[in-house]
């Protein structure tokens, strides 16, 4: 159920529930305490009054009980009612009515029945009870024994309507409510604000992500905060950027591949048409056929490079395994290239550290890497030397292939590892597809290795350095 709600709704519900429950509990607890304190204050005030008045009646009641001066009690009562604005009732020890304030409902009564406040007065000095009076109004009754020289003569009962006390309690409740309500409203307002500051950017993220998913990879999220949502926005932007580059690379890869295949196909078509001329002399026919073979070789090479790259991209090509006898494997690979170099009258110098460790790389991949670097070095060097250095540190295995060939400029260096890239110096002069270094880089990437190219400048030789972590 909660899963179906939006974050905004959840925050709102939680806040509102907390605010309402918290506010109500707070209101009730504080209200109860206020109510008790108000009533206690009210009663305490009357008790003091009752005790004082009871003392006033000690002597008159004594005289009265001895049959003297029967009128004085009535006079005192009238004065008291006037001054104190409370109602009093005087009883003797047997609850017989001795005197009462006017309009208290005792006119017809001779003796009162035992009530809780009277029963309590004997034991705890002041007894109290709240009950409706003869007119049905909620009334507080306080009973105090009237003592004369320590001897109880009777009781004084003070009665006072509770209505003013209750009105006071209600007034205090109202005050409390007017203080609590704004807090609840404030909390709800705050929850609305918090929930919208969270949900609005999330909504924005969602819409942007949807846009991206529908192909608009140039969509960028406007990140306006540094919090988690801002970070998520930055991550999505980064992801879109990466995807955009990837798509771009993929597209240009396909179009480059198609382009590279079209040229040899055109040559093949032209040569095939020429060969269909039956009057063509034999030696020209031979030339055309040899060109056709060359183009086919070239295409075959291109297709196998493309296949290898595609397999590396898919992660299918790379085999596990390691080079165990590193030194002899290296000499094995270099043998062929030494012959090639010497065939081109190039000096070939290999310096291989005699105690090389095992390599965490499949022997075939090591061969592909070296073959590409050495074929380049020999292909792009007309005179001078090729030098291969293999060494290691505890952390890494290093291979360097240096030549004294055509080299490259700093600007060209930054593109060497791009697929199909070939410098202007080599285009049309040297065969090749511009894929060898991309393959080397892709393989090394799989082994978390690196390759770097350097050259002092065009015509000044080149060096390629491979670093493979151990």
Least Cβ distance, residue 364 to ligand ATP (angstroms): 17
Pairing label, strands 385-392, 347-352: parallel
Q: Name the binder of 160 from Mg ion, ligand ATP, none, CB < 5-8 A by kind.
A: none
Which position among 405, 442, 444, 466 is part of the footprint of ligand ATP (CB under 6 A)? 405
The residues in 436-465 that bind Mg ion, with binding defined as CB under 5 A, are 436
Query: Tokens 């009870």 map to which residue?
Result: 129
Instruction: Round to whole Å and give the CA distance between 104 and 91.
Output: 14
Work out the angle between the directed axes of helices 436-446 and 363-379 (0-180°, nearest 10). 150
Residues 344-373 that bind ligand ATP (CB under 6 A): 372
In angstroms, the Cα distances linking 431 to 40, 160, 313, 407, 426 are 108, 119, 25, 16, 8
Instruction: Tell me which stretch binds Mg ion (CB under 5 A): 63-71, 187-195, 388-396, 429-437.
Output: 429-437
407 forms part of the interface with ligand ATP (CB under 6 A): yes
User: Which of 12, 356, 437, 444 lies at the binding interface for ligand ATP (CB under 6 A)?
Assistant: 437
Beta-bridged to residue 348, according to DSSP, are 386
Which of 23-31, 186-194, 336-344, 414-422 is the region at the interface with ligand ATP (rule: CB under 6 A)?
Answer: 414-422
- The residues with which 388 forms a beta bridge, in sequence order, are 350, 401
CA distances from 135 to 103, 106, 370 (A): 10, 12, 115
Inter-residue contact 165 to 38 (CB < 8 Å): yes
* Binder of Mg ion out of 139, 159, 305, 376 (CB under 5 A): 376
Tokens of 277: 């001329």
- Interface with ligand ATP, residue 380, by CB under 6 A: yes
Contact region for Mg ion (CB under 5 A) — 109-117, 175-183, 184-192, 368-376? 368-376
Give the contact letters, 179-198, x = binds to ligand ATP (CB under 6 A), - = no: --------------------
Q: Is 450 helix (H, G, I), strand (E, B) or coil?
A: strand
433 binds ligand ATP (CB under 6 A): yes
Site for Mg ion in 75-114 (CB under 5 A): none
Comparison of 127 and 436: residue with beta carbon closer to ligand ATP: 436
| E strand spans, 292-383 | 347-352
Conformational region of residue 236, where left means phi above 0, alpha means psi within -120 to 50, and beta covers everything else: alpha
- CA-nearest of 67, 93, 187, 107 to 146 is 93
Compare residues 201 and 436 and give the one whose CB is closer to Mg ion.
436
C-alpha 199/C-alpha 277 separation (Å) is 77
Annotate each residue in 289-328 with x if it binds ligand ATP (CB under 6 A) or - if it does not, as one string: ----------------x-----------------------
Per DSSP, the three-state class of 427 is coil
434 near Mg ion, rule: CB under 5 A: no
Helix (H) or strand (E) holding 173: helix 163-213
CB of 393 to ligand ATP, least distance (A): 25
CB-wise, 19 or 368, nearer to Mg ion?
368
Minimum Å gap between C-beta 426 and ligand ATP is 4
Cα gap 55→69, rounded to integer Å: 18
- Identify whether the C-beta of residue 120 lies closer than 8 Å to the C-beta of residue 143: yes
Of positions 403, 442, 447, 468, contacts ligand ATP by CB under 6 A: 403
Stretch that binds ligand ATP, among 60-68, 134-142, 156-164, 428-436 (CB under 6 A): 428-436
Of 95 and 421, CB closest to ligand ATP? 421
**CA pair distance 244, 260, nearest whole angstrom:** 24
Cβ nearer to Mg ion, comparing 118 with 373: 373
Applying CB under 6 A, the residues found at the interface with ligand ATP are: 305, 372, 376-377, 380, 403, 405-408, 416, 421-423, 426, 432-438, 462
Applying CB under 5 A, the residues found at the interface with Mg ion are: 376, 436
């Amino acid at each position: 159920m909660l899963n179906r709600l939006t974050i905004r709704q959840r925050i709102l519900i939680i806040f509102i529930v907390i605010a309402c429950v918290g506010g109500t509990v707070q209101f009730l607890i504080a209200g109860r305490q206020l109510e008790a304190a108000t009533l206690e204050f009210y009663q305490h005030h009357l008790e003091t009054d009752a005790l004082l008045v009871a003392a006033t009646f000690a002597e008159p009641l004594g005289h009265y009980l001895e049959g003297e001066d029967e009128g004085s009690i009535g006079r005192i009562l009238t004065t008291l009612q006037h001054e104190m604005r409370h109602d009093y009732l005087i009883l003797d020890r047997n609850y017989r009515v001795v005197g009462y304030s006017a309009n208290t409902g005792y006119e017809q009564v001779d003796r009162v029945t035992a009530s809780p406040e009277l029963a309590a007065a004997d034991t705890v000095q002041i007894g109290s009870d709240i009950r409706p009076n003869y007119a049905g109004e909620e009334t507080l009754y306080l009973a105090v024994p009237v003592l004369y020289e320590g001897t109880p003569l009777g009781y004084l009962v003070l009665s006072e309507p509770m209505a003013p006390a209750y009105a006071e309690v209600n007034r205090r409740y109202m005050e409390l409510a007017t203080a609590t309500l704004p807090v609840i409203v404030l909390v709800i307002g705050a929850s609305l604000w918090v929930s919208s500051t969270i949900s609005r950017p999330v909504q924005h993220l969602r819409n942007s992500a949807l846009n991206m998913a529908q192909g608009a990879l140039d969509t960028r999220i406007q990140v306006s905060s540094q919090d988690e949502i801002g970070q998520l926005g930055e991550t999505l932007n980064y992801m879109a950027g990466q995807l955009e580059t990837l798509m771009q690379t993929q597209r240009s890869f396909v179009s480059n591949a198609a382009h590279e295949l079209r040229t040899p196909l055109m040559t093949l078509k032209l040569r095939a048409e020429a060969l269909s001329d039956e009057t063509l002399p034999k030696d020209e026919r031979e030339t055309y056929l040899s060109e056709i073979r060359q183009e086919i070789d070239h295409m075959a090479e291109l297709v196998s490079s493309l296949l290898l790259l595609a397999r590396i991209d898919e992660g299918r090509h790379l085999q596990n395994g390691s080079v165990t006898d590193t030194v002899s494997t290296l000499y094995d690979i270099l043998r062929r290239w030494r012959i090639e170099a010497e065939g081109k009258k190039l000096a070939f110098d290999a310096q291989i550290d005699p105690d090389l460790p095992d390599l965490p790389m499949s022997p075939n991949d090591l061969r592909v890497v070296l073959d590409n670097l050495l074929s380049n070095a020999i292909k792009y060097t007309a005179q001078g030397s090729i030098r291969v250095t293999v060494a290691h540190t505890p952390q890494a295995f290093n291979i360097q292939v240096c030549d004294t060939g055509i080299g490259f400029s700093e600007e060209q260096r930054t593109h060497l590892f791009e697929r199909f890239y070939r410098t202007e110096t080599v285009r049309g002069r040297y065969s090749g597809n511009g894929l060898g270094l991309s393959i080397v880089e892709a393989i090394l990437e799989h082994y978390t290795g690196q390759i770097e190219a350097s050259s002092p400048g065009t015509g000044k030789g080149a060096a390629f350095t491979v670093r493979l972590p151990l």
